[in-house]
Amino acid sequence: MTFEEKKNERNSVPRKKNCWFCENRIFFLDYKDEAMLRRFLSDRGKILPRRLSGNCAKHQRSLVEAIKRARHVALLSFVADSLR
Amino acid sequence: MVKDYETMVVIDAMISDEAIETEIASVEKKILTHSGEIKRCDKWGKRKLAYTINKQTHGFYVIFYYKADKGIVLDLERGFNINTNILRYLTLTDYPLTEIIYNQDHISSSEDTVGFDIDYGDAD
């Protein structure tokens, strides 16, 4: 790999993901909607960071709050070692 | 000052059905005594918990949507703390009442996951 290719590869801007909630016009995130919340958890049950999920800040904050509420009421697990 | 409340209660599923019904009835009675008015009561029934609570693996989920004055929350939660049958409770205020009733069959139906092209490898 020549130096130019390596240089371009390093600062190649990743594809801009747009916010899934803004696209689908969802503005109320319910902690009971387990299927939708599970989509933003990693396979280990951890919350996906914004740079990976592509959410905007407003939705990411309400998403995190909903996930933590769901975890409190045992709808989602804290550590998904045995994925349900 | 009357406010909208939503209380989710996880009742221990190992106890008998009559005991679960009495738990639910006692909560409803407590709400009515506080000049409250129950808008809706969703019973999700017995569900597997995501993790074990007090060595229980299944819980009976009940959600109350009601309108009451503010003394209700303290009274309810004091009762929940004493009661060993209640595993978890979560009270929210000014939380919109969703038309969709989420329960077991709803979850399996909406499994259209968004294709994430990320392989979020966990280092740890």
DSSP B2-46: EEEEEEEEEEETTS-HHHHHHHHHHHHHHHHHTT-EEEEEEEEEE
Task: Please determine, for residue B109, whether its predicted confidence score (pLDDT) is greater than 60.
Answer: no
Q: Which whole-number Å values give the CA distances from B39 to A15, A53, B32, B62, in the listed order?
A: 46, 36, 12, 14
Cβ-in-10-Å burial (0-12, 13-18, 19+) of B61 comes to buried
> H/E element holding B68?
strand B56-69
User: What number is the ipTM of this complex?
Assistant: 0.78
Structure tokens at A65: 């709050």
The mean of the pLDDT values for chain B is 81
Contacts of B115 in chain A (CB under 8 A): none
pTM of the full structure: 0.78
Supply the pLDDT for residue A80: 76
More confident: A40 or B94: A40
Question: Inter-chain contact A74–B50, Cβ cutoff 8 Å?
Answer: yes
**CA-CA-CA-CA dihedral for B38, B44, A32, A44, to nearest 10:** 160
Entry field: residues in chain B: 124
More confident: B104 or A7: A7
Task: Please determine, for residue B70, whether its predicted confidence score (pLDDT) is greater than 70.
Answer: yes
Question: Inter-chain contact A74–B51, Cβ cutoff 8 Å?
Answer: yes
**Nearest CA to A42 among A78, A1, A2, A69?**
A78
> Can you tell me the distance from the alpha carbon of A33 to that of A75, in angstroms, rounded to the nearest whole number?
9
Contacts of A77 in chain B (CB under 8 A): 50-51
Of B50, B100, B102, the CB nearest to A84: B50
Task: Please determine, for residue B118, whether its predicted confidence score (pLDDT) is greater than 60.
Answer: no
Is the CB of B116 inside 8 Å of chain A's CB atoms?
Answer: yes
Supply the pLDDT for residue A61: 94
Q: What is the DSSP letter of A43?
A: T
Supply the pLDDT for residue B94: 82
Average pLDDT over residues A13-36: 83
Of B90, B120, B122, the CB nearest to A73: B90
Of B10, B87, B110, the CB nearest to A35: B110
Task: Please determine, for residue A30, whether its predicted confidence score (pLDDT) is greater than 80.
Answer: yes
**Listed ranges A37-46, A59-68, B42-51, B92-101; the one with the highest mean pLDDT:** A59-68
Task: Please determine, for residue B104, whether its predicted confidence score (pLDDT) is greater than 70.
Answer: no
> Can you tell me the distance from the alpha carbon of B1 to that of B16, in angstroms, rounded to the nearest whole number?
37
Supply the pLDDT for residue A7: 67
Q: Which whole-number Å values give the CA distances from A67 to A45, A46, B33, in the listed order?
A: 10, 10, 33
Q: What part of B 75-114 touches A (C-beta under 8 Å)?
A: 87-88, 90, 92, 96, 98, 100, 102, 106-107, 110-111, 113-114
Average pLDDT over residues B4-29: 91
